Chains A and B, each alone.
Chain A
Amino acid sequence: MELNRRDLLKRAFRTGLALFGGAAAFEVVRGELLADDGRNAQVRHFAMAVDLPLCLAAVSCSDCVTACHKGHNVPSIPDKKREIKWIWKEPFDQAFPGEAHEYTRQDLKGKEVMALCNHCDNPPCVRVCPTGATWRREDGIVMMDMHRCIGCRYCMAACPYGSRSFNWSDPARVLPVKAANPEYPRRTKGVVEKCSFCDELVDTGKLPLCVGACKAGALVFGDLNDAGSVVRKALAGRYAIRRKPSLGTGPNVYYLV
């Protein structure tokens, strides 16, 4: 068959259009199918709500911190530069730099609020992790895999909430076995750790340790995709703020004010 230049170009154009157009169309259709509007009832979306007035009423209480750190073998290191923390107290104006001002409500001003990993919808720590040691689970929990962490601390630089701590020394040296919870592993020198929303408990239908330890009932945990969940009810009834939402991380720890 005679094939002139004109026909060759025509044919090449048609083939290209069919190939790339088809691939593009497939991507669009697949994208539509996979589009997650965050309201998929099959998938849970874990979040926490902190009732600030209730929490602050118990002035010197730190039951949640104790329960979490004891249960997860988090060593207590007084040196601020080396401390390990999963849940801690943060002054209001530092936790909410956009919210605090000269005339902040007296019951909030200068008070210390509970802070923990926000288990962001768009976690910057996950974006920067070079080994996949931290990732966002389908149910919203931002997990850490200590087996894969190489201790580069990119995630610590990326997290705008200071939720991550680095093990500068072997935690076993400051954490006596006697005081440890042998059911949960400790960490090793050179890995980054943080709150895991108690995935080991949540996976078996239990509540996180901090929530269970709060006598005031100021911590509420549940599934955002379930309209009847305690956390959705708490958010429906009260005005809630989140830490640094303007950064676009989509934090999942809400503070009821």
Chain B
Amino acid sequence: MRDLRIIIPLLLAVLLAAGLPVLYGLLPGQKSVPPRIVLPAGEKACVMPADYMRENHMALLSEWRDAVVRAGDRTPVMAGGKTYAKSLSGTCLKCHAKKSAFCDRCHASLGAAPACWDCHYFPEEVAHGAE
């Protein structure tokens, strides 16, 4: 029992350290700013609702990739009375032509670094290369 003098302060210190993220959030100050993305002008609808796309665009892209590359299934996707080819550069980037104002904004803020652009060309890069 005579060690309580050491144990209790140490325990409090550990609890404080563990709870630091929560305490930090309770501090007054500026909240983190959500990324502002620029939606393509003139286009109203995507292949899926925005809510779904926000959370699951990577799953959708993987699905398309597997269908086209692995299964050779290039049947277009129907959405809102329109057909879309299952293609990143051929469909997605045709509307979202500014990767830097759309994809990159969220990815940068979340620290996500998808490897898509190692191989797939994006319009800004192509325009820049043509100069």
Contacts and interface: CB of A to CB of B under 8 A. Distances in A.
Residue among A177, A178, A182, A185 with max Cβ neighbours from chain B (10 Å): A182
Interface in B87-131: 89-90, 115, 118-121, 123, 125-126, 128-130
A199 interface: yes
B115 A188 contact: yes
B128 A186 contact: no
Nearest to B118: A188
A177 B72 contact: no
Interface in A117-164: 135, 137, 139, 143, 145-147
A70 interface: no
A203 B125 CA distance: 28
B70 interface: yes
Interface residues of B, number: 18
B33 interface: no
A178 B130 contact: yes
Residue among B72, B126, B128, B130 with max Cβ neighbours from chain A (10 Å): B72
B65 A147 contact: yes
A203 B126 contact: no
Contacts of B70: 135, 143, 145
B18 interface: no
A182 B120 CA distance: 8
B123 to A, nearest CB: 8
A199 B69 CA distance: 9
A204 B85 CA distance: 12
A178 B129 CA distance: 5
A183 interface: yes
A180 interface: yes
Given A146-B119, A182-B126, A183-B89, 14 more contacts: A135-B70, A139-B72, A145-B69, A177-B125, A177-B128, A177-B129, A177-B130, A178-B130, A180-B126, A183-B90, A185-B119, A185-B120, A187-B119, A188-B115
**Top 5 A-B residue pairs of the complex, sorted by shortest distance between their CB atoms:** A177-B129, A182-B121, A185-B119, A188-B118, A182-B126
7 contacts: A143-B69, A145-B69, A177-B125, A178-B129, A185-B89, A185-B121, A203-B72
